């Protein structure tokens, strides 16, 4: 594929790919970064693109994987609501910050698929349909995996907050 062919076929997909990345990541700058990585990857594979049936589908798959990688390695951030409450009640603020930290620690112990689903649904507010599309599964499977993950997190949090003491 020549430079001109690349510019005619690949570059026009940029707007669509940006919108997908932005919807998945929720951050304009991160979406732009992922889009640049996508174009670089496609440019590097330009010799093989002629053999691919649907360049659009291939680009979407690469974009999805890059977005998921970015979500996986995203650094922990402080919740804005927690910052708002810091000055009002120090004890409640401490408990809230501690609870969020514990939740993030527990999420890291989940199987990767459940962790990604929980991240996308509960933190990034993606729909079940978007998640199913991105991880190549059914909406029902997403719901089941999310339910299992939430149940496990709840049980583990109960252990932490009950100091390991079983309660009826």
Q: What is the domain class of 80-161 according to CATH?
A: mainly alpha
pLDDT means per 10 residues in the chain (168 residues)?
85 88 84 92 88 85 86 61 54 64 85 88 84 89 94 86 62
pLDDT at residue 89 in the model: 58
pLDDT at residue 141 in the model: 94
pTM of the predicted structure, to 2 decimals: 0.47
pLDDT at residue 33 in the model: 92
CA pair distance 40, 44, nearest whole angstrom = 6
Name residue, tokens 């995996």: 145
CA pair distance 168, 165, nearest whole angstrom = 10
CATH code matching the domain that covers 3-72, chosen among 1.20.272, 3.30.980, 1.10.1740, 1.10.3470: 1.10.1740
CA pair distance 82, 79, nearest whole angstrom = 5
CATH 1.10.1740: which residues of the chain?
Answer: 3-72
Q: 76 near 104, Cβ under 8 Å?
A: yes
pLDDT at residue 76 in the model: 47
CATH 1.10.10.10: which residues of the chain?
Answer: 80-161
Nearest CA to 14 among 53, 56, 69, 45? Answer: 56
pLDDT at residue 164 in the model: 55
């Amino acid at each position: 594929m020549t430079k001109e062919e690349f510019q005619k076929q690949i570059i026009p997909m940029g707007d669509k790919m940006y919108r997908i990345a932005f919807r998945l990541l929720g951050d304009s700058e991160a979406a732009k970064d992922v889009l640049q990585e996508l174009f670089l990857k496609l440019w590097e594979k330009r010799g093989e693109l002629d053999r691919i049936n649907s360049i659009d589908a291939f680009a979407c798959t690469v974009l999805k994987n890059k977005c998921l990688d970015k979500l996986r390695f995203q650094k922990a951030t402080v919740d804005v609501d927690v910052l708002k409450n810091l000055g009002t009640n120090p004890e409640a603020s401490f408990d809230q910050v501690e609870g969020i930290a514990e939740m993030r620690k527990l999420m890291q112990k989940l199987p990767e698929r459940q962790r990604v689903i929980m991240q996308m649904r509960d933190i990034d507010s993606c729909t079940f349909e978007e998640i199913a599309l991105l991880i190549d599964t059914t909406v029902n499977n997403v719901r089941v995996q999310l339910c299992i993950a939430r149940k496990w997190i709840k049980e583990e949090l109960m252990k932490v907050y009950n100091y390991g003491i079983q309660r009826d």
